[in-house]
Structure 1
Amino acid sequence: MRFLEVLPLVFVMIGGPQILSAVFLATSERWRRNSAAFVGGAAISITLVVTIAYAFSTGTIGQRASNTTVSAIVVVALSFAMVHTYRTRATSEPPRWMGTLQSASPRFSFRLGFLLMGFFPTDILTSVTVGSYLAASDAPLVHAVPFILLTLLALSLPSLALVAFRERAETALPKARDWMNANSWLVSEAVILLFLVMSLSNLLG
């Protein structure tokens, strides 16, 4: 089924600042409300972008050629991005706004989830890809639901871990946060590599 083919894109959606933000918010002062607001904002923006992309792509002529061109451009751009990320790894730092997440408000968390998951370059490209692919494959829009739900579940894992494994999670999450904070370039490189492999697969396939 078509929705199974787009599920791997979930890993592209949450890689980098997205999952790091979820971990930071899960270790914040108001982690329950912040995490719920973050996921809520993400749910709205992802659904919105996928739906709009699907609507615009329905009935489009020459979809195959368009996808090939886009894939080629993405491969080139991601290749440059990988090189740049590696060359600047010594000075690589996470975005400055992440330093404010420990004392974030639910309102800020909602806005962050909406903007980060809906309009971050890799996320908006991935959501558009999902919507366009389903439309080009004549699959119903409902096939995007598993993709959206799994993305939201992945973003919820840090807070769900706190609920299920309170003491262990309270010890493990700050360590994971600090490691990801100190090795943000590795996280970024892994996400870019994953997206590059998927783009090459689309281009060659």
Structure 2
Amino acid sequence: MELQVLPLAVTMMAGPQIVAAVILVTTARPVRVCLAFLLGVAVATAVGVALARWIFALLGQSVAPGSPSDRGAAATIVQLVLVGLLALVAVKNVVKRRTVEPPKWLGSLLEAGPRKALTTGFLIILFMPSDIAVMLTVGANLEQHGAEWTAALPFLAATVLIAALPLLVYLLLGGRAQRAMPRVRQWLTTHSWVVNAAACLIFIALILAP
């Protein structure tokens, strides 16, 4: 793969995704719950990339983004539409920052068990619009270069690693992390517009990068 794996993985987890990971660290059984969440994230990412590659294999190279010299008109249109939509979402988050509220389902994660964490990790990746866009980009890149699905393993590993950061901080810092995580959770909840807008800008930069 010739994609910037780390920025793509950061975009995958930016927004409610990382907020969910932080919330799960503050549950009664954080390790078991977070491991279940990470499993859901890993499975959803693997399934999403495989589906994206299959879709582009059916569509052919006409819509797969490549280097500027070999992009077709369809690919250019798709990219411009994506950039426009992401820019609108970023502007909307900034303009409505005082009224933007986190999804109600995030609050329910405070009492989540492993099964709910697994389901959340799966659904939050597979059905999040920004993550769908990232996985489509990865799938298109795999198809364009004739690469096997295993070429996306670095991207998969980076996504799971970023999702695991709250748990790793909890395990490394122990009691200090237990005291700090609720404050981090509160900040992320009240400043979700910052995270969402930043994710949009990162992905716009990735789309426009040569």
TM-score of the superposed pair, with normalisation by structure 1: 0.91
Alpha-carbon distance between aligned partners in 2 of 1:164 and 1:153, rounded to the nearest angstrom: 15
What is the deviation of 1:90? 0.9
Change beyond 3 A, Cα 1:4–1:192: closer
Residue aligning to 1:127: 135
Alpha-carbon distance between aligned partners in 1 of 2:117 and 2:40, rounded to the nearest angstrom: 8
Q: Deviations over 1:1-41 (max 9, x none)?
A: x2553442011101011111000001112211211111111
Aligned pair count reads: 201
State whether residues 14 and 154 of structure 1, in contact with CA within 8 Å, keep that contact through their aligned partners in structure 2: yes
Residue aligning to 1:9: 8
Amino acid at match of 2:154: P
Residue aligning to 1:32: 31
Residue aligning to 2:168: 160
| Aligned structure 1 segments of 4 or more residues deviating by more than 4 angstroms | none
Pair 1:82 & 2:90 matched: yes
Specify the SS of the correspondent of 1:39.
helix
Q: Write the mapping of 1:181-200 to structure 2, written as runs, cut at 5 A.
A: 181-200=189-208
Pair 1:23 & 2:22 matched: yes
Q: Deviations over 1:112-162 (max 9, x none)?
A: 110101110000111111011121122332110010011101111111221
Residue aligning to 1:45: 44
Change beyond 3 A, Cα 1:3–1:166: farther
Pair 1:61 & 2:61 matched: yes
State whether residues 45 and 118 of structure 1, in contact with CA within 8 Å, keep that contact through their aligned partners in structure 2: yes
State whether residues 3 and 146 of structure 1, in contact with CA within 8 Å, keep that contact through their aligned partners in structure 2: no
Amino acid at match of 1:176: V
Report % sequence identity: 36
Change beyond 3 A, Cα 1:168–1:121: same
Structure 1: segments with no counterpart, 5+ residues: none
Structure 2: segments with no counterpart, 5+ residues: 65-70
Change beyond 3 A, Cα 1:107–1:178: same
Specify the SS of the correspondent of 1:90.
coil
Specify the SS of the correspondent of 2:4.
helix
TM-score of the superposed pair, with normalisation by structure 2: 0.89
